[in-house]
Amino acid sequence: MRAVISYNPPGGAIGKLVAKLFQREPWIQARRDLHRFKQLMEAGEIATGARNRRIAQEREDG
Amino acid sequence: MKALAWHGKHDVRCDTVDDPEILNPRDAIIRVTSTAICGSDLHLYDGFVRSMEKGDILGHELMGEVVETGAQSTLRKGQRVVVPFTISCGRCYHCRKHQYSACENGNTAHTQDIGREGMGQPMGAAFGYSHMTGGYSGGQADYVRVPFSDFGPLVIPDASIEDEKVLFLTDILPTGWMAAENCAIEPGDTVAV
């Protein structure tokens, strides 16, 4: 599966760089979302390296 | 529980940490009865591996007793299992070709980017070996969460076999085996190790 995304980042190239630094750039987010979808379809679940719910929540919150 | 945690270069401590839990349907929780220190643990100890975080639990060679299972685990409580160091789904392209260390689904979507950006390719997943391989807690601990427990762990049904006789199926023996296979070593060959 491939996703083609076209967008104009707020703030232009600098805005895109800032979004990338905070891991919020659409290309990164889409790649990760597609990979989670692949995990769900193939493995039946989405992988997490967390040991328990507390750590999973901490990692989700960043 | 007690666990051996990495706190920095040449700084490994026996910490008291919170226990693992079942997070995914294919998970199991193992009470560790034996674990080993691998030569590659020294790379972590010596600070050569990036993406380690303070408090990360070490250890990727482990075996033990099943104490809890997820809804889709095929293990049963009380079973004795050897746990491979790689975390592999058993269903992706590479797993179907028996290339388990290249599993595409064991490492998490965001930690795959560490290897992708640092080395050009994402890594597979392993226990206790940095966030580049998924940030999974390792087995140098009282308990460990084992993902894909219906696929990876090897059940040891014979209680008379001592841990020491099967523990090295986790990593050391299969790693040497794969090296021999990759080099096409045959009986009678002379090799340098």
Chain A residues with CB-CB distance to B136 below 8 A? 49, 51
3-state secondary structure chain A: CCCCCCCCCCCHHHHHHHHHHCCCCHHHHHHHHHHHHHHHHHHCCCCCCCCCHHHHHHHHHC
In this predicted structure, what is the pLDDT of residue B192?
Answer: 87
In B13-126, alpha helices (H): 41-45, 93-96, 112-119
Q: Quote the pTM value.
A: 0.92
d(CA B123, CA B7): 23
Beta bridge partners of B4: B14
DSSP state of B172: H
* A43, A46, A51: residue with CB nearest B20: A51
Q: Is the pLDDT of residue A7 over 90?
A: no
Q: Show me where the domains of chain B are located.
A: 2-182
Torsion-angle region of B100 (φ positive above 0: left; ψ -120 to 50: alpha; else: beta): alpha
Angle (CA) B59-B61-B62 rounded to 5° is: 95
Beta strand extents in chain B (DSSP E only):
2-8, 11-16, 28-36, 56-57, 61-69, 80-83, 86-87, 125-126, 143-146, 154-155
* B18, B87, B105: residue with CB nearest A42: B105
Give the homologous superfamily in CATH for domain B2-182.
Answer: Medium-chain alcohol dehydrogenases, catalytic domain (3.90.180.10)
In this predicted structure, what is the pLDDT of residue B49?
Answer: 94
What's the complex ipTM?
0.90
Per-residue pLDDT of chain B (193 residues; tens, 9 = 90+): 999 999 999 999 999 999 999 999 999 999 999 999 999 999 999 999 989 999 999 999 999 999 999 999 999 999 999 999 999 999 999 999 999 999 999 999 999 999 998 889 999 999 999 999 999 999 999 999 999 999 999 999 999 999 999 999 999 999 999 989 999 999 999 988 8
DSSP state of B104: S
A53 near B CB under 8 A: yes
Using only C-alpha atoms, what is the Rg of chain A? 15
d(CA A7, CA B173): 51
Chosen from A31, A37, A48 to mutate, greatest number of chain B CBs within 10 A: A48
Chain A residues with CB-CB distance to B24 below 8 A? 45-48
Q: What is the mean pLDDT of residues A39-62?
A: 94
3-state secondary structure at position B90? coil
Per residue in B120-140, pLDDT (tens digit) is: 999 999 999 999 999 999 999
Residue of chain B nearest A48, judged by CA positions: B108
